[in-house]
Structures are given as structure tokens and as C-alpha cells.
Amino acid sequence: MSDKKLSMVMVEDIGKCACAIFQNKSFIGKTVGVSSENLTCEEIASVFSKVCGQKVTYHAVSPEVYASFGFPGAEELTNMFRFYAENEEEYVEYRTIPEKIMADMGSVT
């Protein structure tokens, strides 16, 4: 994933977003993404370090190596992360909460 961003979402934000969507009829039949924050894997490791109280280090692994790990779902996860890396801009944009909804939500957690 290198320096590519992943969309992270807090459970509380899912609820606030859903509530705001249900209150706005213009979103009926529409797909709405939800994201609290977009972080690189390095940034995620930094958050884990703070929360866990010990150093967490991100080590980039190529898709080919990750797919070879052999655990159930390794190939599927490889494809998912490859998609995120190759389509970062669209992926992050798709998950961004529309401003109309954000205004009704207040803010993200």
C-alpha cells in the first residue's frame, strides 16, 4: 500500500451518517459512502502505537508476496488492497461523505 490512503470509519460515524441520510429525501435511491478519516498504513501504525502504548511498525509487502502467505482469503485480500492502491483517488472520493450529509451529522468522530 506504500503511501496510499485507506478510508477508515468509526462506528459512531456510520450511525450519524445513516441518521442524516434518512432525514434527507434527496438521498433516496442513492449510494452514499462514509469515511471518518483517510490514512496511510504508516499513519495507521502510528495510531496503533499511541493506542497500544508500544511501537507498531508498518512493513510494506508486495501483492505477490502477500498472496503467497497461504491463509484463507489471502488472494482475495491481495486483490482488494491492489484495487485500493491502483484506484486510491476514486476509492477515497467514493467514501467521502457528501457535504449535505456532513452538515446534518455535525462532524466525524
Where is pLDDT greater, at 99 or 44?
44
Q: Is the dihedral of CA 63, 67, 71, 73 positive or negative?
A: positive
pLDDT digits (tens, 9 = 90+) for 18-55: 999 999 889 889 999 999 999 999 999 999 999 999 99
Greatest alpha-carbon pair distance for the chain in Å reads 47
The pLDDT of residue 6 is 92
Q: Which pLDDT band, with edges at 50, 70 and 90, does 102 fall under?
A: confident
Cβ proximity of 29 and 100 under 8 Å: no
How many Å apart are CA 105 and CA 86, to the nearest integer? 31
